[in-house]
Structure 1
Amino acid sequence: MPVEETVERALVVMAHPDDADFGCAGTVALWTRAGTAVTYLLVTDGEAGGDDRTAGAAETAELRRAEQRRAAEAVGVHDVRFLGRPDGRVTASLELRRDIARVIRRVRPERMVIPSPERDWTRIHPSHPDHLAVGEAAICAVFPDARNPHAHPELLRDEGLAPWTVPEVWLTGGPDPDRFPDVTEVFAQKMAALSAHGSQIPDPAALEQGLRSWLSATAARAGLPEGRLAEAFRYVDTR
């Protein structure tokens, strides 16, 4: 299935640094090549990630923010924002919904990518509790919060942020995907983005082999020709 028509602005909301690069960096590279301005919003700084416990949380958070900014540049994303919520302790609270709605009203995206709030029992690893919580908070921020002038009234009253309706959302990491962008031509950019996360991925070559296999299987599932690579999403019309 081809990538949809080009939009001016897209917002990717994820739980941790590297989530976007695993889940959608190839598709993001296609969009930025086509002229879409993409913003990344990371709910946490990823300070609980990795097996190296010699660094403190603040040092790890600083490192992972820097890695994410480099990874974003590799796929043409120049606007990366962080909410600084505690890694591993995210909940779909009203406060998180408000903070995501704030960014939606500022960026005014025509398309969003978020983690699926549904657990996929056939492939458990994408269903990290932080991912599920961010997915739930983000879809609630899309509908009804960001478009409703009476939701989080301080956003309009105190910050002058007018309501905004996001027309479409692409879910990643969940069950029943129905959109499979062909990312074969931008796979090198996806790998460059992932390789920027040195604190989490010590052996990018080994990751590349496994990732090619996974994306090849996804492409085959979508009916793409042999040798192609694809990412997977579930499309939601949110107009």
Structure 2
Amino acid sequence: MLPLSEINRVLVVTAHPDDADFGSAGSVAQFVDKGVEVTYLLVTDGDAGGDDRSLDNSGMAELRRTEQRAAAKVMGVTDVRFLGYPDGQVVPSLELRRDIARVIRQVRPDLVITQHPDRNYRHIAPSHPDHRAVGGATLDAVYPDARNPHAFPELLRDEGLAAWTVREVWLSGGSTPDHWVDITDAIDRKLAALQSHVSQVGHIEGFAEFVRSRSAGLAEQAGLGEGRYAEGFQVVATG
């Protein structure tokens, strides 16, 4: 397990706007508070999401990019990037692996947080096909693509992006977490970030109670005790 003192840069790779806030906003808040540089990389603009379909996909994409930047601002994250893949159609292609490897080489993170590539049979929502595709492509981009100077040689040849080895990966949304982060002090910021995604959660009655309940359940699973909130991850060593 990578000590917090050795984490200087974190890259969070997700499929859609709001995924980072559901999965890891509380943890991100703690990283930012410690002076860690955090970058969000979103593979899609979430153009197929939302209940308000008075907007076409282009309008929805613009709205969701705006909401994600607002949510990131709540967390203190200023570097937010979008790859623009079609929402609902993501596959773990060589092109996606290259695009994620490019950002890994640009940001040079110690830790990457992404979505679990396996299906969660306890709760279906974390297993959206885009989530699984992004998780798988990100793991492949971490190993071997980003660290291998001979993988996607155009990244070095044309863009000057030298190989980079990520030291650890945290997977969110899986059914078997083995690492929990106590986010009790950051739960209000997590909620504020999530509530920035008005197009996605503004219509959900009792949304704050749902988030607190789910976070409390993870804290109980972690053995943190009553009145605590947590986020859970599966840790993948890359060495």
TM-score range, shorter chain: over 0.9
Deviation at 1:52, TM superposition (A): 1.6
Unaligned residue ranges in structure 2 (runs of 5+): none
Matched-pair contact (CA < 8 Å) for 2:17–2:65: yes
Higher helix share: 2
What's the secondary structure of 2:143's corresponding residue?
helix
Q: Does the C-alpha gap of structure 1 residues 204 and 185 become closer, same or farther in structure 2, counting only changes over 3 Å?
A: farther
Within a 5 Å distance, the mapping from 1:1-239 to structure 2 comes to 4-5=4-5, 7-203=7-203, 206-239=206-239
Q: TM-score, normalised by structure 1?
A: 0.97
Identity %: 58
1:97 and 1:130 mapped to 2: Cα distance?
Answer: 14
Runs (4+) off by over 3 Å? 1-6
1:3 and 1:172 mapped to 2: Cα distance?
Answer: 19
2:42 and 2:63 mapped to 1: Cα distance?
Answer: 14
Letter paired with 2:147: R
The alignment of Structure 1 onto Structure 2 pairs a total of residues equal to 239
Matched-pair contact (CA < 8 Å) for 1:194–1:204: no
Q: Cα deviation per residue 1:90-148 (whole Å; 9 max; x = unaligned)?
A: 00000000000000000000001000001111111100000000001000000000000
Deviation at 1:175, TM superposition (A): 2.3
Letter paired with 2:155: L
Let me know the Cα RMSD of the aligned residues. 1.5
Unaligned residue ranges in structure 1 (runs of 5+): none
What's the secondary structure of 1:17's corresponding residue?
coil
Matched-pair contact (CA < 8 Å) for 1:116–1:132: yes
Matched-pair contact (CA < 8 Å) for 2:219–2:229: yes
